[in-house]
């Protein structure tokens, strides 16, 4: 197979971890005779520094015209505490999601047997947990109108959803549930928010097409609690953009480290793969960042193109690295291995 | 002391648990020679059933003219899955919060030594955790304009904040931090939301008045993770309405049961005390609901009026109940004690 892949390393630890994902893909290409052509481009704080624009035209055009995008991380503290910055790194990622129409962000959560004891949660709580979060990615408060009055004393964010936006991701989530344990949990705040009530109505309507899937509803406050009390109850979780952002970071504790979690963002025509962790600027350049989330993002990319055997070799390589404790310090405090060594281990395994 | 207390038992398990809180207050009144006069009123689904209005005029007037409000729980499943219901129980509570100007909801989180092993989190993670969440309670998406178009295909919720709304709760939170471990963590999503950027700016401005308090910032997705990875890092958490709703329910897992957590909602003139759990309709009338959160709400009420010794007797009674395992099934699966027995134990202790 020939694949053209746009690579956006982004900020902080992004470049280091993405390098390891590329290594894994190179190895797969050689062994399985695929041609992966990578083209790098700027996005995020680094793009602002070099071009003034968090998503340069060139980057966007590249992404629109490739088979897939592999993305690292975004964000820089120098923007976070500057409320009056007009241009911010995150705008690049949000614009990219919107322009590529990446409406569904899929985040699988499943602890590794060898890491069961790395979680802050008790073994019996998480052993056997296995669920996927479907987070809507191009709507909600992320993209609604924002205002700040002239005096800088009054601000607003508008959260909006349409039936269409809800329907398309609901179908994906129900289909996924059909291939899993046939349970879908819709998370919302329908006792307070109008948008949540629309979600509930539309998801119920869509559910009639999937009579084999059991549908239930949880308020987001309760869901945030249930994820920790009893994560095994979940199969597929479907939710809106901001709730999905919060709940998927929270759910990472089940696996012991957010450095293990990959995600796929899908649209009608485009697909982007990224670790769910952030740019972790304190770790930048220290060879301590966990590259596994990025390497697993590469595996999700392969699956997306039907390369299941190839993806499974990566999954096995990651499992072996974890089993042999070739892991970064987030997983083993006294580990002598770094970003590079973990990446090498996995690509050598292939 | 003479106190006139409005009692709103509300829905589901509300009446059962509030009864136990009243018992504790009666006992305190007798022993310490205070006169607590209770007046009951309707709010929530029960008020809709009886009057058509989730917050009848009479209830509101009573609450406006008492020293404090003791509230149980709200919500009924018959409204949750009916997106077109025009009148909903929660509107009663939200209107009451707004009309009484209860802008600060304060939720202390601290595990009981005797219950350390009841949490899904490992002992070493939670032992020593002790923090308080300051949740803004009368702004944000809860109270902004809501729309649903005529076809029912497009909905919106507006999240709004003003400098003034942020300033007043920020002062309360900083003052609390001064009396604690002098650390305040502001939780927001300033990399995406305009309202969050306003929060960050205003809280920074307020912080200059409290140079002895260390201020830091966390994005809400990261905060949802940090609460589980390392809850001991927190002292006072300050956040907006919806984030506070989610994070405080999540944080309840640290104590082993949401049935243990009380909260105070404060305004300029009024104060309301309530358990943070919901109406738990499945448990209604079964004598299995945990009354401790309500009993502790009564203790917070006493503290609010400077009755610290009285409050501490209640805290001790609750500790003893937990120590002797006179607890409901949420804390001990095979417990033979129910709502009533736990309430009796505490009021007898007084
Ligand atoms: C960087 C930020 C804008 C982003 C988000 O909130 O979507 C990140 O937290 C994520 O989850 O991908
Ligand atoms: C019942 C509901 C409206 C309420 C809220 O979301 O504020 C509850 O969850 C709470 O936390 O007090």
B-chain residues within 8 Å CB-CB of A150? none
Residues in a beta bridge with A236:
A132, A184
What pLDDT sits at residue B101? 98
HSE value, Cβ hemisphere, 13 Å, CA-based, for A333: 1
Cα four-point dihedral sign A64, A65, A70, A73: negative
Full 3-state SS string of B193-205: CHHHHHHHHHHHH
Q: Which residues of B43-75 are buried (b: 16+ CB within 10 A; e: fewer)?
A: bbbbbbeeeebbbbeebbebbeebbbbbbbbbb
What pLDDT sits at residue B77? 87
Residues in a beta bridge with B37:
B4
The DSSP code for A121 is B
H/E segment holding residue B47: helix B45-51
- Residues of the binding site of B for Mg(2+): 221, 245, 249
Residue whose CB lies within 8 A of the most ligand 1 atoms, among A75, A93, A138, for a mutation test: A93
Instruction: Give me the average pLDDT of each 10-residue run along chain B (350 residues).
Output: 97 98 98 97 96 97 98 91 83 97 97 92 97 98 98 98 98 98 98 96 98 97 97 98 97 93 96 96 96 98 98 97 96 95 97
Pairwise CA distance, residues A24 & A281, whole Å: 24
Pick the closest to residue A183 from A131, A248, A218, A220 (CA basis).
A131
A107 and A250 in contact (C-beta within 8 Å)?
no
Pairwise CA distance, residues B336 & A28, whole Å: 60
The DSSP code for A31 is H
Which positions 4-43 of A are in contact with B (Cβ < 8 Å)? none
B343 and B23 in contact (C-beta within 8 Å)?
yes
User: What CA–CA distances, in Å, run from A74 to A26, A79, A261, B7?
Assistant: 24, 11, 16, 50
What pLDDT sits at residue A256? 87
Catalytic: which of A11, A245, A280, A330?
Answer: A245
What pLDDT sits at residue B173? 98
Pick the closest to residue B157 from B220, B85, B100, B241 (CA basis).
B241
Which positions 135-154 of B are in contact with A (Cβ < 8 Å)? 141-142, 144, 146-148, 152-154
Q: Whose CA is nearest to atom 3 of ligand 1?
A: A90
What pLDDT sits at residue B1? 92
Pairwise CA distance, residues B114 & A17, whole Å: 44
Residue B49 is among the residues annotated as catalytic for this protein: no
pLDDT digits (tens, 9 = 90+) for B89-145: 999 999 999 999 999 999 999 999 999 999 999 999 999 999 999 999 999 999 999
Domain annotation for chain B: domains and CATH numbers:
1-102+260-350 (3.40.718.10), 120-255 (3.40.718.10)
Question: pTM for this structure?
Answer: 0.96
Pick the closest to residue B139 from A312, A235, A323, A154 (CA basis).
A154
Q: Whose CA is nearest to atom 7 of ligand 2?
A: B245
What pLDDT sits at residue B157? 98
Q: Whose CA is nearest to atom 9 of ligand 1?
A: A245
A183 and A235 in contact (C-beta within 8 Å)?
yes
Residue B221 is among the residues annotated as catalytic for this protein: yes
B267 and B101 in contact (C-beta within 8 Å)?
yes
Tell me if A158 and B155 make a contact (CB, 8 A cut-off): no
Pick the closest to residue B251 from B134, B331, B103, B97 (CA basis).
B134
**Which residues in chain A show pLDDT less than 70?**
83
Which positions 69-108 of A are in contact with B (Cβ < 8 Å)? 75, 79-81, 83, 88-90, 94
Q: Residue A237 CA to chain centroid, in angstroms? A: 14
Facing residue for B83 by CB, picked from A142, A200, A278: A200
A29 and A46 in contact (C-beta within 8 Å)?
no
């Amino acid at each position: 197979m020939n694949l053209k892949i746009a690579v956006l390393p982004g900020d902080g630890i992004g470049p280091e971890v993405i390098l390891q994902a590329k290594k894994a893909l190179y190895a797969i290409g050689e062994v399985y005779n695929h041609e992966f052509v990578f083209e790098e481009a700027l996005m995020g704080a680094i793009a602002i520094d070099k071009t003034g624009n968090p998503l340069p035209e060139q980057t966007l055009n590249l992404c629109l015209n490739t088979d897939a995008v592999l993305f690292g991380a975004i964000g820089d503290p120098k923007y976070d505490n500057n409320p009056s910055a007009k241009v911010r790194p995150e705008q690049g990622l949000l614009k990219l999601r919107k322009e590529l129409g990446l409406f569904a962000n899929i985040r699988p959560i499943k602890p590794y047997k060898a890491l069961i004891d790395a979680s802050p949660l008790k073994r019996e709580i998480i052993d056997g947990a296995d669920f996927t979060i479907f987070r809507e990615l191009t709507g909600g408060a992320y993209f609604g109108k924002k205002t700040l009055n002239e005096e800088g004393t009054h601000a607003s964010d508008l959260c909006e959803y349409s039936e269409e936006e809800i329907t398309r991701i609901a179908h994906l989530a129900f289909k996924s549930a059909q291939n899993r344990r046939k349970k879908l949990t819709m998370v919302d705040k329908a006792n307070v928010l109008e948008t949540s009530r629309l979600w509930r109505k539309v998801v119920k309507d869509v559910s009639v097409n999937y009579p084999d899937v059991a549908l239930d509803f949880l308020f987001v406050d309760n869901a945030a609690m249930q994820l920790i009390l009893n994560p095994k109850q979940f199969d597929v979780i479907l939710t809106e953009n901001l709730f999905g952002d919060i709940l998927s970071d929270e759910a990472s504790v089940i696996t012991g480290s957010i450095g293990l979690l990959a995600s796929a963002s899908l649209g009608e025509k485009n697909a982007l793969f990224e670790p769910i962790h952030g740019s972790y600027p304190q770790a930048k350049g220290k060879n301590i960042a966990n590259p596994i989330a990025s390497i697993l993002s590469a595996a999700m990319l392969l699956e997306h193109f039907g390369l299941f055997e190839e993806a499974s070799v990566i999954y096995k390589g990651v499992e072996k690295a974890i089993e042999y404790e070739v892991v970064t310090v987030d997983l083993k405090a006294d580990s002598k291995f770094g970003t590079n060594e973990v990446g090498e281990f996995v690509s050598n395994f292939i």
